[in-house]
Structure 1
């Protein structure tokens, strides 16, 4: 068994090219962690200016809905660094629409993008984590996963699946010192959200860097006191 300091950590970040994923990569690379950046397409470079990065492996072309692709990414990370201490999964999708006979395509699409991806990558990283008797898993869920509003059936149900998956992982692996938690962000301050909501009041929006810091606590050794939680991160007060 081993404990892992922030500087020694080996962290896999999925969705590394997204706004939140890139913030997580930046946060951990700057602290000297070894980072495995996983993306479906290309992964942007994010080396800290001070050169403090402990090592970086970029893996592109990974469809997290494909279990074999997830297993391949995990094996490549193990080949490079020998272990995976942390998974931060930021992959997901959003869509709205009423419950209607034409809505099943969206239902299937969002379950593929949100629930299946979370399951497949969790299953892949759990094997080496269980062998090491140590690990931290963080998924990004959403508040509608707790209570759906109008036109949110598919999105809310798929995010509820992520929350339930997280709870099950936590319960199954607690004695092996593997934690699993998920974060329920408010509106994240991104260029895309600003463009989509040009008249919105942005003072209460959540900064990706702040979510990355919250993740930093959850995956730290002291963060081991929290597992199976769905943590709201709804913005400054």
Structure 2
């Protein structure tokens, strides 16, 4: 028997974290619905997963548009008849000192991090509520707990994600749906290594470690957990 079944919708599935989540889910027997902006790398990634024929690709959808989120969920229901889980990895990061932390940066961070999550979760909840089950996992940030210098806009937007998760978790308890968030530290990615060449990545967290935590929150083993804000910070 498969450890997980799905379908599980993974956004940003062609990115560093999204790929790790998709791989971890597929290794457990889950059906992965990968969503990303560009179709070619997404389809190549899904084709390389175990059980490639059972997975599904969705592309050319802007999660800042609630109608696009509704279309994505409708496509999942049309093919599989249900949606069991969501892992929302789409987001953005930017740093700026106070003097440059202008309203446009706040707007961009809130659009990329909070609005996308609210839109996607809203569409997913509408699909999951009739079944009385489902698990939603958001990607917050450890910086949302205590913001470092230069991260006002980013940390504020991720703090919004955490408050959204807490409120949704409370509201959806009677419906049988669970909502949780992961709070990664600095991810060990090629992009972060290039951006911070003087830093020691030994204390960073690997995308695979975050993916393992996401799989746990989606699984039956976490059936009693909702509203959790789980740090995944490696040895940093």
TM range (shorter): over 0.9
Q: 1:101 Cα deviation (Å)?
A: 7.3
Partner Cα distance (1:168, 1:40) in 2: 29
Kindly provide the CA deviation profile for residues 206-236 of structure 1, in whole angstroms up to 9, marking residues without a partner as x.
1111111111111101212211111110104
Partner Cα distance (1:92, 1:36) in 2: 18
Instruction: From the superposition, tell whether residues 220 and 105 of structure 1 become closer, same or farther in structure 2 (CA, over 3 Å).
Output: same
Is residue 28 of structure 2 the alignment partner of residue 39 of structure 1?
no
Structure 1 spans left out of the alignment, 5+ residues: none
Structure 2 spans left out of the alignment, 5+ residues: none
C-alpha contact 1:29 1:48 (8 A) present in aligned 2: no
Kindly provide the CA deviation profile for residues 183-214 of structure 1, in whole angstroms up to 9, marking residues without a partner as x.
11011111111111122111111111111111
Secondary structure of residue in 1 paired with 2:182: strand
More moved, 223-232 vs 43-52: 43-52
C-alpha contact 1:34 1:54 (8 A) present in aligned 2: no
Which residue pairs with 1:215 in the alignment? 214
Partner Cα distance (1:47, 1:15) in 2: 12
1:137-152 aligned at under 5 Å gives the runs 137-152=136-151
Which residue pairs with 2:13 in the alignment? 16
Partner Cα distance (1:39, 1:133) in 2: 27
Partner Cα distance (2:183, 2:110) in 1: 17
Secondary structure of residue in 1 paired with 2:56: strand
Which residue pairs with 1:26 in the alignment? 23
C-alpha contact 1:32 1:53 (8 A) present in aligned 2: no
Secondary structure of residue in 2 paired with 1:68: helix
Secondary structure of residue in 2 paired with 1:181: strand
Tell me how large the CA RMSD over aligned residues is.
Answer: 1.9
Partner Cα distance (1:105, 1:180) in 2: 30
TM-score scaled to structure 2, two decimals?
A: 0.93
Larger relative helix fraction: 2
Q: 1:51 Cα deviation (Å)?
A: 4.1
Secondary structure of residue in 2 paired with 1:58: strand
Aligned residues: 234
Q: 1:70 Cα deviation (Å)?
A: 0.3
